[in-house]
Amino acid sequence: MAGAVLAGVVGEPQFGVPMRITALLVLLSTGCPTAKDTAASETGGGNDSADDLGGEDTANDGYDDGACVSGEEWTGGNEESPYMNPGEACIACHTKEREGPSFAAAGTVYFNYDEPDDCNGVKTATVRITDADGEVYEEETNKAGNFYFLSSDYRIKTPYTAEVEFKDGKIATMVDDQKTGDCNGCHTQSGKEDAPGRIAESAAE
């Protein structure tokens, strides 16, 4: 893909090693404070798995309100892992605790808008960021739905745009340019700073 900066290795991702890119991306239609507003990232580790989702369908795009669609949850607390704490604000936590790798951007991709913290999201979705200089960076979500762009590997110039394409070829695109890389800081279960909720596959077209 012309202009894309790709980095990765085969196998399960570990902190400090970029993930192999095998699919195209996933994002939502709105996010954290934008550049316009400013101007005017197989259960594993501590994950538990359910046999099936169950429950009744609702108007929430066929999912139960607030349900963990994957049926898999992280139970490892703050044990360091690429799969830890899906849905929580990665950069804010690593900064506060002064532990863990430094991320240029990080978050979690979910099936639906209102899934809870520590619920595993969508795996093998590729998140693509195009920065202010037109450089394109890609990473793939891991088995927890987490994605991250390590600061040691990526120099993402803001403001940037983002999109996500799922395995079925559907794409969700963020409308506004962004200046923060802590995606889960705004893409919470209920949504902050005008975000409608999670980065969600149900937003893709």
Per-residue pLDDT tens digits for 143-160: 999 999 999 999 999 999
Residue 54's CB is within 10 A of a number of other CB atoms, namely: 9
The residue ranking higher by pLDDT, 136 or 96, is 136
CB 103 within 8 A of CB 90: yes
Residue 97: pLDDT band with limits 50, 70, 90: confident
Mean pLDDT computed over 32-53? 41
Return the pLDDT at 112: 97
Residue 46: pLDDT band with limits 50, 70, 90: low
What is the pairing mode between strands 146-150 and 103-110?
Answer: antiparallel
Residue 131's CB is within 10 A of a number of other CB atoms, namely: 21
Q: Is the peptide bond before 86 cis (omega within 30 degrees of 0)?
A: no
Mean pLDDT computed over 113-132? 98
What's the whole-number average pLDDT of the chain? 78
Return the pLDDT at 95: 85
Residue 175: pLDDT band with limits 50, 70, 90: confident
The residue ranking higher by pLDDT, 164 or 29, is 164
